Structure formats: structure tokens, C-alpha cells
Amino acid sequence: MKKTSTPSSASFKVGAIALAFLILGYQAALFTTRAARLRLEANRDRPDTVYIYAAGAPASAGAEVLPPTRSHPRLRKREGPADVVGGRGPASPDGWREELPAGSAGAPAETVRRNAPHSDYVENYRRATRRVESFRFNPNTVSVEDLIRLGFSEKQAQAIDHYRQKGGRFRRKSDFAKSFVVADSVYQRLERYIDIPRLDLNRADSTALDALPGIGPYFAARIVSYRDELGGYSCPEQLMDIYHFDQEKYDALSDLVYCSPPEPYPLWSLPAEDLLRHPYIRSKQEARAIVLFRDHTPPEGCTVEALAAAGILPPDRAGKLARCRIADP
């Protein structure tokens, strides 16, 4: 009987190695081809950038409006079809323009940050390979693109944006946690990155104040008018000086507001008729007595406590006046 020949052990090993190299080469070729195509597609697109808009220019949907800051006096933008509006310096040979500082002649009043559009191939690749990030964000203004970067699906990000467009607002971190698209695990990861700015009582208009819990148009208007009477709030507790603004109403919003330093009140230099306009000085006799007191007292003795000790102001109103930021004599 004739014996059949079998491949030697060495030939088998060579064949296995050759097959492995063939598979690796094929995979490398696929990866290189895909990477090259992605690079070509991306090069056809505009890069992600920062757009500058002049005062009154409308921001596009999904854009995040950022106020100009001193830390970014100049911003650069590459020239292209979607040209920058207003406040431009001369273009350099490579197509970049330097933006003028905010506040200068012709400079933009606000900065709008958004991602430039990319081809479908690039966008699909980004979705398939996106990496979850964690960074500081305001859930009331963060763009849909950045919500996706934070780990939300496109559908979830759109749901959050739809809620905001309908007038919804996240006043506290806990409000964001209550959203039906925010899973507990996602909130636990993002909680320390949530940055919801408090409202400045000395700069907010009546519309912004109206959005606070328990505040309607009436109290919003009263807060603004009382701020004018005081010359600016020195502490949020002064809200309770407003008629019918009780402790319960204050507790509902105390963690949502703060006071930037107001202009010092010139208690020791105003004439009596101007002193009478202050809500803590309620009679002509008190205003005239303050003028008489300061005219016969050295500067170091001119204090609100001294006015109370002299019986010019009652202790309760003297205590309230002492909370105000008062200019030096």
C-alpha cells in the first residue's frame, strides 16, 4: 500500500505565521484606509472654533453665549465662509484674524461658542468613538453638543434642550438630578462639575428676579425699587425689609442669590434732604440730626453705633443701617 505524504511540522508553522501576517496586514490596511478617509473628510470641514458676534447679533440654535471677560481680551478666528461679525483686526497670511478687545470701538459685545458642522461620515465616526468627558457646565446654557460630550445620548441631550426651550430652568443641582433623562450614576459623576451661577441682586433685572421661586411680577418690581432706595443691597437679608417679604419667602431663594458690593452710601456727606430718601432714615428730624452730629463730631467718631447711642436713630433701624456699606467720613 502506498503511504500518503503529510506536511512537515516546519511547513505548518510557516503557513500559520504567513496567515497571521496576512490577517494583521489586512486589519492594518483597513485601519489606515479608514483613518485616511476620516482625515480627508475632516480636512474638508471647518475646525471647531469660537465665533464672535457684535451686539444684537442673533446666536444660532444650540449656541452657548459667553460674556466677554478680562481674561480673554483677544480671540482669534480662522476666516472662512461664515465670516466673523464686527470687531476684526487685519487678517494674517494664513487666514487668521485677531479680534479686538471687548468694549473697544467696533468690538463684539458677546462671545458665542459652538462646534462647526462636519460631514456625516465624521459625525457618525465621532458618535461611534466618542469619549465621555467631565467638565464644568451650566445646565441652563450648555449646548447640545457639549451635553453629548458629557455622556448623554443625542436623544437625551435634545430632551434637555427641549425642556429649556419650553421655559424650564434648573435653579439648583437637585433640579438637574430630577430630570427624567439624568440617571443617578450620571448625576453622581457630574454633580461636582455643575455650575449654576447665583443671581446678583444688584444687577438682575425684574425679568430675572421674576424667575426666582416665590417671586412674581409684584415682588420683582419691589426688589428693584427697594434696591434703588438703598443704593444697592449690601446683603440678601435686606430683602426681608420689603413689605410682606417674610422669612419663608427668603428661605426659598436664599441659596440662589448674592449681592455684589454696592457703591458705598455717603452717609457722612449728603445733605439732609438726600438723607431723607434712605429707607432707614424716616423723618426730617433724623436727617437734620445726622447732619448736626457729623458737623460737631470728629471723623473717627462718626459711626452708625454713635448715632444710635446719641438717640438719633432707634436701635432697630440703626442695626439695619449698620449692615449697609457706608463710605468713610
pLDDT at 258: 96
Confidence of residue 223 (pLDDT cuts 50, 70, 90): very high
Cβ 148 vs Cβ 154: under 8 Å: yes
Return the minimum-mean-pLDDT range out of 61-65, 157-161, 242-246: 61-65
Is pTM beyond 0.85? Reply is: no
Q: For 16-20, 253-257, 286-290, which range has the lowest pLDDT when averaged over its residues?
A: 16-20
Q: CA nearest 139: which of 77, 186, 90, 206? A: 186
Which pLDDT value is given to residue 162? 96
**Residues recorded for the chain:** 329
Residue 32: per-residue pLDDT: 77
Q: What is the CATH number of domain 200-258?
A: 1.10.150
pLDDT digits (tens, 9 = 90+) for 162-208: 999 998 999 999 999 999 999 999 999 999 999 999 999 999 999 99
Counting Cα atoms < 13 Å in the Cβ hemisphere of 176 gives 26
Torsion sign, CA atoms 153, 155, 161, 167: negative
pLDDT at 222: 97
Q: What is the pLDDT of residue 92?
A: 41
Query: CA distances (Å), 214 to each of 220, 227, 240, in order?
Result: 10, 18, 13
CA distances from 30 to 23, 25, 37, 123 (A): 11, 9, 11, 19
In degrees, to the nearest 5, what angle opens at C-alpha 32 toward C-alphas 28 and 38? Answer: 145
Q: How confident is the model at residue 11 (pLDDT cuts 50, 70, 90)?
A: confident
Chain center to CA of 101: 20
The three three-digit cell numbers of residue 67, written as one number:
460674556
What is the structure's pLDDT at 6?
56
* Cα–Cα distance measured from residue 49 to residue 99, given in angstroms and rounded to the nearest whole number: 13
**Residue 185 CB contacts under 8 Å (≥ 6 apart), including other chains:** none
Residue 213 pLDDT exceeds 70 = yes
258: exposed, middle or buried (C-beta count within 10 Å: 0-12, 13-18, 19+)? middle
Mean of the pLDDT values across residues 288-316?
Answer: 94
CA–CA distance, 2 with 106 (Å, rounded to integer): 98
Residue 329 has pLDDT above 60, yes or no: yes
